[in-house]
Structure 1
Amino acid sequence: MKELAQLRKAAGHTQETFVDAFAEEAARLGTDATISVRQLRRWEREDPPPLPHPGQQVVLEAMFGVPLAEMGFDVPPHRLTVSAPISDPGEVRRRTFVADAGILAAEAIVPARPGPRFGSADVACLRVRLDGLYRTDHTVGSMPAMMQADRIEREITGALTAASYTSRIGRELQTMLAELHGHRAWYGYDGGRIGQGRAACMEALAAAQLVDDPLLQVSVLETLVLLAIKAERVWEAVSAVEHAYRLAVGAGAGHTVHLVIALRDANVATHAGDLSGARRALSRAVNHQGCADTDSEVPKWARFVGPFEVDYATAEMYVRAEQPKRAVPFLRAAVRAMSGDLARNSASYRVKLAQVLLEAGEVEEACAEMAAVLDACGSIASPRLLDRIRGFQRAVGGIDSAIARECGERMRGSVT
């Protein structure tokens, strides 16, 4: 039956995805109706096809926006959908349609837009570029990544606004837009633009909710934690951690996702001076890290995490407790374990190590670490990294020693 098959294909469904969509629509309508792929094939292949029962008719008409008869079925008179106002007091009528229902259906399924068709190949190209933002950010910093993100966002929103696409393609575009806002949230954090970062988080969360992707929401919430801490909104950071835990449990997330959340939990507790809470969160992080290799699938946004993140968070706890000497071995381990692909994070970790070594009285080693950072980070455009370097510059300027003075001189010539 070509009419039904054409309607299904125009809506962007395979026979398998249509069966799933049918079940979702029936649930929304509160109708006890189901179909199988085998039954759908009979409807589309046999002539005449078997007539759907009344419950199935309700769902099919709701999905396509046309009467059952216009789907190619031979419908008896008492089952025909009429075209009359449903508020007519003379009789109770079934769901009605406008007279030219065929035109209505075509417009509802594939909106008439002036732009070109946007298909799977176009989405795949955008996906490669979107995923490439991680590498740009990690290797040369958030500023170049932000410029790339601007271009990608214009293409995604342009396609959503003007192109013609199936519902599946539209959902993928909206998912990518949610991810892009998540990237922007991180760039706001890295660039010290906390208000912009929080605004991007709100957009990302709304977009992730609309496509019903709980793990994508978790990825945004973990960035929101960092932004909320910077904004001194500890209550918001606590709520973000709690909500992330709920979403992760509900989605059946693996250990790696739970490891990221536990680390953000430790960040909040450390910032608040709750060192007992930080130790508990870090204990959970260690347990999840030990089981992370059992995860069958890890979201792209969580793949950065590893033992070095746990060591770094542990060092942060000791720094907060004013025990820099105890923090040093954890920072050294984190720096050694950092992947060479994470150039920005590696430089940031080494600056932190240099700062803590300075606080621990290890001036010579601190200056050696900073010299290594200056040698390696010339091409990295990260405002947060630059702020850390300037912080070390101020600290070393207050130390009266030849090594400290030499380090300070070099920094004055390197840091602008």
Structure 2
Amino acid sequence: MADRVVSRLAQLRRAAGYTQESFVTAFAQEAARLSVAASVSVRQARRWERETPPPLPHPSQQTVLEAMFGLPLAEMGFEVPRHRVTVSAPIGDAGEVKRRTFVADAGVLAAAALVPTRPGQRVGAAEVAELRARLDGLYQTDHTAGSVPALTQARRIEDELTGALGSASYTSRVGRELQTMLAELRGHRAWYGYDGGRIHQGRAACMEALAAAQLVDNPLLQVSVLETLVLLAIKAERAWEAASAVENAYRLATHAGAGHTVHLVISLRDANVATHTGDLSGARRALSRAVSHQGRADTDAEVPKWAQFVGPFEVDYATADMYVRAEQPKRAVPFLRAAVRGIGGDLARNSASYRVKLADALLAAQEVDEACTEMSAVLDSCGGISSPRLLGKIREFQRAADRIDSAAARECGERIRETVRGGTT
């Protein structure tokens, strides 16, 4: 009898995806939702599972337990006095007042608590780990090969995630992880919209990603989406939306106790907004915050995957962008050189983009030969990268070079045209 009681409660807890510690946390959250003054400790939860007979929960604890598992307390293995036994009957039935009613037979509910009544395959930890590895691999694909092949991979993963969520069987913990990955994936698609020049599609993906991240109550995931929304909003000439996204990102990061790296990313987006609107004083303030956070980033115990790309080179690049906006390209050049040196070869797409920016600044500073040399280096290295945004920047350089009466500029412009016709980038 004692083994049956213990194993039954432990089985329900494990099937719901809880450890004893996370069960205590979930219990407190459910009590808050029900506005019930009830709590439980890990020690008490262990007693419920192990002691013979298990201590009877207080009435308020019973209310929470029955809400969490969707079962009458008696079917969790407790010996319940008759006056506290929950009955199963339609809510609208006349007669005596009932403490709690269930809409299905208790036996059916017991089965449902262990295995969701969905057709299809079972999704467990192994399947989640495989999907997680493929999702994380999108960063590498995007950085090295560009957003076009990354988007193709993302679509396949999204089909599998939505299919699993809609038809597979899984525990509540696995379901939450699947929803979290779907939110992340839509955040990726928002970035691909930005990189591909599909701004409206990118913003729509941002809205979906934000809603999904809110549903799983993941503030740092919301921050990752908001930092992409800033870039999309700037492209859409919605500076007010970009500024609002920055403020919300700051608020969420502070609430979540985020580290310096996350705050560094937000500061850089803050600088993006200020630079775009011509608020150069605001840009300097944001960049000063970025420098401060960068100097302390090595103290972060953990950095989200989406923020791991950032480094001193991003601060240098944003500083150069501010000088370009102020029409001081010569002051931008040393910062762009530092950014190109610092970015490293594992971020091939961004590295090429930085070099195009450097070539642009050199051209604006009337250093034509050096600008064309930089652009030639870009063309040499970007053959395996498929990024519409990078291609657009290269074409912009070509148009600027075409306006200059120089042999180097003409030669460079012709090489760009040949490269574009050949399908590179």
CA distance in 1, matches of 2:102, 2:378: 69
**Residues 1:44 and 1:400: Cα distance change in structure 2 (over 3 Å):** same
Does 1:24 pair with 2:25? Answer: no
1:35 aligns with 2:37: no
Structure 2: which amino acid aligns with 1:348?
A: S
Superposition TM-score, scaled by structure 2 size:
0.95
* Secondary structure of 1:114's aligned partner: coil
AA of the residue aligned to 1:236: E
Whichever residue aligns with residue 26 of structure 1, its letter is: A
Equivalent pairs, count? 416
**Residue pairs, 1:213-232, within 5 angstroms:** 213-232=218-237
Pairs within 5 Å for 1:320-399: 320-399=325-404
Determine which of 36, 52, 66 is the counterpart of 1:47.
Answer: 52
Root-mean-square deviation (Å): 1.4
Query: Partner residue of 1:292?
Result: 297
Counterpart residue identity of residue 391, structure 1: E
Between 167-176 and 84-93, the greater mean CA deviation after superposition: 84-93
Deviation, structure 1 residue 10: 2.4
- 1:395 is displaced (CA, Å) by 0.8
The answer on whether the counterparts of 1:66 and 1:102 sit within 8 Å (CA) in structure 2 is: no
Pick one of 249, 254, 265 that aligns with 1:244. 249
Tell me which residue corresponds to 2:406. 401
Once residues 92 and 420 of structure 2 are traced to their aligned partners in structure 1, the CA distance between those partners, rounded to angstroms, is 75
Question: Could you say if the C-alpha distance between residues 87 and 391 of structure 1 is closer, same or farther in structure 2, counting changes exceeding 3 Å?
Answer: same
Residues 173-252 of structure 1 aligned to structure 2 (within 5 Å): 173-252=178-257
8 Å CA contact 2:88–2:106 kept in 1: the answer is no
| 1:98–1:225 distance in 2 versus 1, CA, 3 Å | closer
Question: Alpha-carbon deviation of 1:87?
Answer: 4.8
The Cα offsets for residues 56-97 of structure 1, whole Å up to 9 and x where unpaired, read as 111111112222112222111221223345456654331122
Letter in 1 for 2:33: R
- Following TM superposition, by how much is the alpha carbon of 1:155 offset from its aligned partner in structure 2, in angstroms? 1.1
Equivalence for 1:92: 97
Distance 2:320 2:187 in 1: 27
Following TM superposition, by how much is the alpha carbon of 1:267 offset from its aligned partner in structure 2, in angstroms?
A: 0.4
Picking from 272, 275, 285, the partner of 2:277 is 272
Q: Which residue of 1 aligns with 2:115?
A: 110
Distance 1:395 1:85 in 2: 76
Moved more, 175-184 or 31-40: 31-40
TM-aligned CA deviation for residue 46 of structure 1? 2.7
Which of 130, 147, 153 is 1:142 aligned to?
147
Q: Which runs of 5+ in 1 are unaligned?
A: none
Instruction: Show the counterpart of 2:321.
Output: 316
- CA-to-partner distance for each residue in 1:122-170, whole Å, 9 max, x for gaps? 1111111111111110101000100111111111111111111111111
Name the SS for the 1:415 alignment partner.
Answer: helix
Letter in 2 for 1:17: S
SS in 1 for 2:117: coil
Instruction: Supply the AA of the counterpart residue of 2:86.
Output: T
Quote how far apart the aligned CAs of 1:45 are: 2.3
Between 1:246-255 and 1:14-23, the stretch displaced more is 14-23
Q: Measure how far apart 1:329 and its partner are.
A: 0.9
Letter of the structure 2 residue corresponding to residue 80 of structure 1: V
How far apart, CA to CA, are the structure 2 residues paired with 1:19 and 1:239?
Answer: 37
What letter matches 2:287 in structure 1?
L
* 1:225–1:240 Cα contact (<8 Å) kept: yes
Deviation (angstroms), 1:113? 1.7
Q: Which residue matches 2:84?
A: 79
Identity of aligned residues (%): 80
Point out where structure 2 has 5 or more consecutive residues left out of the alignment. none
Distance verdict in 2 for CA 1:98–1:328, change over 3 Å = closer
Deviations 1:159-197 (A, max 9, x none): 111111111111111111111001000000000000010
